Amino acid sequence: MDSIALLIAASMNAGTLLALAALGLLINERAGIVNLGAEGLMLVAAVAGFATAVHTGNDWLGFAAGMGAGAVLAGLFGVLVIWLGTNQYAAGLALSLFGTGFSAFVGIRYTQEKLTPRTHFELPGLADIPFFGPAFFKQHPLVYAAIALTAALAWFLYRSRAGLVLRAVGESPESAHALGYPVRPIRLAAVMCGGALCGLAGAYLSVIYTPLWVEGMVAGKGWIALALTTFATWRPARVLLGAYLFGFVTMLQFHLQGQGVEVASQFLSMLPYLSTIVVLVLISSNAGFIRANMPASLGKPFFPGS
């Protein structure tokens, strides 16, 4: 039971990383913008957050630096695709490649750096409950913040006027523009907000989850987060559940190895990516279901004068 509790705790920790990035991408896509640069955003944010934490000794400043780096890069991406009409898919791939190379260059001096010992978090009283305490109540505050963010985003999208406007911009920007809403600034704000969340995920990876800096340490998690938005049919609660599912698959390999299960480590390492492919294939087999849930103007440029 103790090992299962630890597996659950580790799955929530790993899932939080994916959930933060996927929720950011969901905001982008609800506004009609596809950002394939999540991998690059997370890498730049990871090195920015880690470097800040090394120099200041403050994890929260590291998170702020990661969010700032993600928002700035996403803002540049937004200007290119929203105002200059650059192809969203090509610009996103370019951002991913840029982020990979830039983070490797900037992070050279931090590969040998170490952070101060991490603070141990637990919820007083609840952490002592057998099984449930180690499984659910000894997590970093950002784990609980991700759950709260999911609930807040669901309320924002489906219960607030601003969320309705954001969804309208993603469904029919022409109609939103005709009603007097500034489609381009709204899309830019959504892109930057999504970039900030991807940046927070990257900083969480390097400051808390590992905690260290290694070139290419995101290792495809940005792409998994991108796939999660489709897996969740663009709904925040499903994003969180899907993130925990992929987090469980990721941590299962270490659990099985710890239990002495004789399975090739290479096979276990590819489980998260294999499960991503399988899920996408299964979802894509029902094209009508995807079209019914996908924002109608996703990936389509908008020109107010046209």
> For position 1, what pLDDT does the model report?
63
Q: Can you list the domains of the chain with their CATH numbers?
A: 2-115+130-293 (1.10.3470)
Q: What is the pTM of this model?
A: 0.92
pLDDT, tens digit only, all 306 positions of the chain: 678 888 899 999 999 999 999 999 999 999 999 999 999 999 999 999 999 999 999 999 999 999 999 999 999 999 999 999 999 999 999 999 999 999 999 999 999 888 887 778 888 888 888 888 888 999 999 999 999 999 999 999 999 999 999 999 999 999 999 999 999 999 999 999 999 999 999 999 999 999 999 999 998 899 999 989 988 889 999 999 999 988 888 888 777 776 776 777 677 777 777 877 787 777 767 667 677 788 989 989 998 865
pLDDT at 289: 66
Residue by residue, DSSP assigns 258-304 as HTT----HHHHHTHHHHHHHHHHHHHHT-HHHHHHHS-TTTT----T
Do residues 21 and 221 make contact, with C-beta atoms less than 8 angstroms apart? yes
Residues 6+ apart with CB under 8 A from 160: none
Question: How far is 28 from 49, CA to CA, in rounded Å?
Answer: 22
pLDDT number for residue 153? 97
Burial 238-265 (b: 16+ CB within 10 A, else e): bbbbbbbbbbbbbbbbebbeeeeeeeee
Contact 22, 223 (CB under 8 A): no
- CA end-to-end span of the chain: 62
Element (H, E) at 33: none
